[in-house]
A = this chain, B = another copy of it.
């Protein structure tokens, strides 16, 4: 006997949560369609070559690697094996891994299928991504991202479209959020001004941990990479101010121009945040992060502009911008706020209960007729006591229960219980159809 369990950090979603996830997904998909994003699918597995060196050194450590099939030891790096060098051995026995996000696969797709795609390419994709992170609150090893991206244009329109999309979806979900924006060019220009361009990756990585390690932690990290106290002070003062118009060089000017356009179009739907870093290496322009304004829970969405990501795959460079909705975190926030509308509970409509083979056969006829009319209907599939069948109806949350006892069978009627109201009434099948049609 095997104890039924999942690998650490992975979760099942039973029907109650499945409905909630479906509710959020359909709000997101509705908006994606309204904005003209088109659906694509890429595989869960990508070549290790595609995945590595895209997410920073930390990201590389968090990739799930898939073992070559067959006799993989034959191709293993013998030297590394003898040296006990797990990383080098992994490179020789794993050719592919689980995708870490949906953005790098998109960059691969647009280069690989360049001649079959019309640019500007507006695509959406929804699916699981994987990170071998230490599991903790709000952090899962498999989580679902819902991404919308525009590739092949560097205009402000793409930036404001994806930001507006965020505002609309969270509004539709009834969540109050803060949409923080910054611009990598503004940040890089500031680092240049402070003569920190060489340490830029380390500085951004420290800054990105602000939520976890606090301001002191960030200062310590900056000190750790050898930045002088004065410079740290100047940098920390700068990231805390909210004025992006003070610029010292061309790079900052470029960031300022785009941020001004964004704020002109979207006004206070977005909030400038000079401290916003975003962990991923590939951003080059606007960066965005969404947090709940009602509860502390980390980011529930993030994205930005990546105008050079496709370069690594060769061909013509294709600028892009995109955002991601973190489905699992949004569920967590809506759970914490108890913000679920009735529509998300997924009630079941009608269950036919019965007491012998005759009743069950009659029930089968009825549900088939209802289903053929597009009305969802179910039949208790076993001969069982009324109590058991009614308990099931109650637990599943049916609106109606249709009982088929001897009296009903002989008079060709149905005794319908209204579970919400606690009442019941005998009716013909035609009357039942009318009642269900008003309901569904």
List A residues at the B interface (Cβ < 8 Å). 1-7, 10-15, 18-19, 21-22, 33-36, 38-47, 49-50, 61-62, 64-67, 69-74, 81, 84-86, 89-90, 93-96, 98, 108-109, 111-113, 116-120, 122-123, 128, 130, 132, 141-142, 150, 153-155, 157-158, 160-161, 164, 168, 265, 312-314, 346, 348-349, 360, 364, 368, 371, 374-383, 392, 395-396
Contacts of A120 in B (CB 8 A): 380-382, 392
How many monomers of this chain does the complex have? 2
**CA distance in complex: A12, B123 (Å):** 13
Q: Are A150 and B381 CB-contacts (below 8 A) given A7-B96, A118-B392, A371-B35?
A: yes
Contacts of A94 in B (CB 8 A): 67
Q: How far is the CB of A262 from chain B (nearest CB, A)?
A: 12
When the two chains form their complex, are residues A33 and B376 in contact, meaning their CB atoms are under 8 A apart? yes
When the two chains form their complex, are residues B314 and A3 in contact, meaning their CB atoms are under 8 A apart? yes
Contacts of A109 in B (CB 8 A): 4, 12, 14
Q: How far is the CB of A21 from chain B (nearest CB, A)?
A: 7
Extra 10 A-B pairs, beta carbons < 8 Å, given A14-B116, A21-B39, A35-B376 = A4-B111, A6-B46, A6-B47, A12-B43, A18-B38, A35-B378, A38-B348, A67-B94, A153-B382, A155-B382
**CA distance in complex: A5, B164 (Å):** 33
Choose among B65, B93, B108, B376 the residue that contacts A34 (Cβ–Cβ < 8 A): B376
Contacts of A395 in B (CB 8 A): 118
When the two chains form their complex, are residues B41 and A12 in contact, meaning their CB atoms are under 8 A apart? yes
A119, A153, A155, A375: which has the most chain B beta carbons within 10 Å? Answer: A155
Q: Are A14 and B117 CB-contacts (below 8 A) given A66-B65, A89-B73?
A: yes
Contacts of A38 in B (CB 8 A): 15, 18-19, 346, 348
Q: Are A66 and B98 CB-contacts (below 8 A) given A22-B39, A142-B44, A348-B36?
A: yes
Choose among B12, B62, B90 the residue that contacts A67 (Cβ–Cβ < 8 A): B90
